[in-house]
């Protein structure tokens, strides 16, 4: 029989039992709670969920802004052995309804600002038994479900004892479209939460009780729930939770007021911070910054360190792995690299046949470790494709360098074959971002006049910049092999991104499709192609 282990008690109860209940657990716009106060709320909410009839293994879907209510519901749901499913607050009612039906969710909880799409989605969720709404307004559930204000369901703390879950019990579902395109729920165990704390949290972040964590990515994102829940709570530190949409001005205000020591962002947001003209001392309280979600271009890393004096630790993670499994280390940052494997994880770079490739050779990235999801809910075919024995096939193309570090070349389906040779969009984007007149860039493949795919760039100018397309192309030609340079540059006001800040390349392609087609390669491209082939 497996030992009893519940992630909720691991994250909160043991601090109170150790006499540290007066430490600040969470703070921010939504209010401040000590560990003792948070545990009381979790126990009362867990008791209320039981009174609603929520049973172990049943799903509770959460369309809520970051704050005490969302964090409490996540931990209370785990506590009773049920499964919290936090989802993006940017979903349309139609998209949310599809997830509700897919998860067979028994309870849906929403914040007031997301009540309208949640109420509409609930009308298409026949498995739903209860609809909860935080705030003062009464919810409008479908006819077959009960409706409650969140504060109304709080029960007696005595009914909030933890359920005897095991390390392998399902603790959390996180929907992702990362590896194959369509939304699917990655199923994570209670033990996976402890695993990411003991690997990345302890051995890369070195998180300690006096730390304060501020995360741009929200709690519905695997990266965000680690940053603002698992890591701080596991060590008795504090999380700063902000319900609002992050902007450079808002984040600067939060840093000044809350004095976080650990800051977590994504490359797109770091670029926005650099473009915002913030004072150099803005991030003075921060001892380390972290980037994930997509690779951090070396120019952004260097410019952020020069501007704010803070080193960014770039890494790669996946929803299926729950958090980061390859990362740079403090004082050992390799610009343009994802770093080296986090202790506790093994990685491989393999060819199409599954054989390991030598250093310097591109291949598919595989990872294994204790935090890997058990699979996707009700997705047998794609589970078999992505979860291969102990190994997770990430869908990323990587190169292992001679020094043991790993360099990202692109998503396996984002690589561009120009002139018969693979071109990495991230390599071209990194060169574009070295130009002082470029704030953001995305490179995609579009067909030229002959129907052949060529790299094309969508560029957001830096504030005050009047850089031209010709200047950008010339700049790339000076720093890249000729066949890699963008054949066309289109200036845009912004780049389409996901709720977690990743560039949506398919939307970039759609927006650029039909504009001036890529130009043919220059006369000297043949020489570059030949040189590249020989290297």
pLDDT of residue 530: 27
pLDDT of residue 297: 84
Residue pair 46/159 in contact (Cβ under 8 Å)? The answer is yes
Three-state secondary structure of 290-342 = EECCCCCCHHHHHHHHHHHCCCEEEEEECHHHCCEEEECCCCCCCCCCCEEEC
pLDDT of residue 178: 53
Contacts of 258 (CB under 8 A, 6+ apart): 27, 28, 212, 214, 240
Question: How many angstroms separate the CA atoms of 454 and 231, rounded?
Answer: 43
pLDDT 10s digit of each residue in the chain, 535 long?
679 999 999 999 999 999 999 999 999 999 999 999 999 999 999 999 999 999 999 999 999 999 999 999 999 999 999 999 999 888 889 889 999 999 999 999 999 999 999 999 999 999 999 999 999 999 999 999 999 999 999 989 999 999 999 999 999 999 986 545 568 999 999 999 999 999 999 999 999 999 999 999 999 999 999 999 999 999 999 999 999 999 999 999 999 999 999 999 988 789 889 999 999 999 999 999 999 987 888 888 999 999 999 999 999 999 999 999 999 999 999 999 999 999 999 999 999 899 999 999 989 999 999 999 999 999 999 999 999 999 999 988 899 999 999 998 877 767 776 654 567 788 889 899 999 999 999 999 887 765 667 889 999 999 999 999 999 999 998 877 777 889 899 999 999 887 667 788 878 988 888 776 665 544 333 333 223 222 2
Domains parsed from the chain with CATH numbers: 7-166 (3.40.50.980), 190-198+241-411 (3.40.50.12780), 416-534 (3.30.300.30)
Residue pair 213/194 in contact (Cβ under 8 Å)? The answer is no
Residue pair 76/8 in contact (Cβ under 8 Å)? The answer is yes
pLDDT of residue 55: 97
In 3D, which of 344, 423, 354 has the Cα closest to residue 385? Answer: 354
pLDDT of residue 485: 86
For residue 383, how many C-alpha atoms fall within 13 Å in the half-sphere facing its CB? 13
């Amino acid at each position: 029989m497996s030992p009893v282990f519940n992630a909720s008690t691991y994250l909160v109860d043991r601090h109170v039992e150790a006499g540290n209940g007066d430490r600040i657990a969470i703070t921010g716009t939504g209010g401040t709670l000590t560990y003792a106060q948070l545990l009381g709320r979790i126990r009362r909410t867990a008791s209320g969920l039981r009174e609603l009839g929520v049973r172990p293994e049943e799903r509770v879907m959460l369309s809520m802004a970051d704050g005490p209510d969302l964090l409490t519901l996540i931990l209370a749901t785990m506590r009773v052995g049920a499964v919290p499913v936090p989802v993006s607050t940017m979903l349309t009612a139609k998209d949310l309804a599809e997830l509700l039906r897919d998860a067979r969710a028994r309870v849906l909880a929403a914040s007031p600002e997301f009540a309208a799409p949640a109420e509409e989605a609930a009308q298409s969720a026949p498995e739903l038994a209860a609809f909860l709404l935080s705030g003062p307004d009464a919810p409008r559930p479908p006819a077959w479900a009960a409706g409650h204000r969140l504060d109304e369901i709080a029960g007696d703390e005595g009914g909030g004892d933890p359920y005897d879950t095991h390390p392998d019990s399902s603790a959390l579902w996180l929907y992702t479209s990362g590896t194959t395109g369509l939304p699917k729920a990655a199923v994570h165990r209670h033990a996976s939460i402890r695993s990411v704390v003991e690997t990345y949290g302890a051995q890369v972040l070195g998180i300690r009780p006096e730390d304060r964590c501020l995360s741009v990515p929200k709690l519905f994102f695997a990266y965000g729930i680690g940053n603002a829940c698992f890591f701080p709570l596991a060590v008795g530190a504090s999380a700063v939770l902000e319900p609002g949409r992050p902007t450079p001005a808002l984040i600067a205000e939060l840093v000044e007021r809350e004095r976080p020591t650990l800051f977590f962002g994504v490359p797109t947001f770091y670029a926005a911070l650099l473009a915002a003209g913030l004072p150099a001392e803005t991030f003075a309280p921060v001892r380390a910054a972290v980037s994930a979600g997509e690779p951090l271009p070396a120019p952004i890393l260097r410019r952020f360190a020069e501007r704010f004096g803070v080193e960014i630790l770039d890494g790669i993670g996946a929803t299926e792995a729950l958090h980061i499994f390859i990362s740079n280390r403090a004082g050992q940052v390799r610009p343009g690299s994802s770093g080296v494997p986090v202790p506790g994880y093994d990685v491989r770079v393999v060819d199409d046949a599954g054989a390991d490739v030598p250093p310097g050779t591109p291949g598919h990235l595989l990872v294994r470790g204790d935090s890997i999801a058990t699979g996707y809910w009700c997705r047998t075919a794609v589970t078999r494709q992505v979860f291969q024995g102990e190994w997770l096939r990430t869908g990323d193309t990587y190169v292992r360098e001679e020094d043991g570090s790993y360099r990202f070349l692109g998503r396996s389906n984002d690589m561009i074959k120009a002139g018969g040779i693979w071109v990495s969009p991230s390599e071209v984007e990194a060169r574009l971002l070295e130009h002082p007149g470029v704030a953001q860039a995305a490179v995609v493949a579009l067909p030229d006049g002959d129907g052949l795919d060529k790299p094309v760039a969508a560029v957001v100018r830096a504030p005050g910049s009047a850089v031209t397309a010709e200047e950008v192309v010339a700049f790339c030609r000076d720093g890249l092999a000729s066949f890699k340079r963008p054949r066309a540059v289109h200036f845009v006001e912004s780049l389409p991104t996901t709720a977690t800040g990743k560039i949506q390349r398919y939307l970039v392609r759609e927006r650029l499709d039909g504009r001036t087609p890529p130009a043919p390669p220059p006369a000297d491209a043949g020489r570059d192609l030949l040189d590249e082939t020989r290297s």
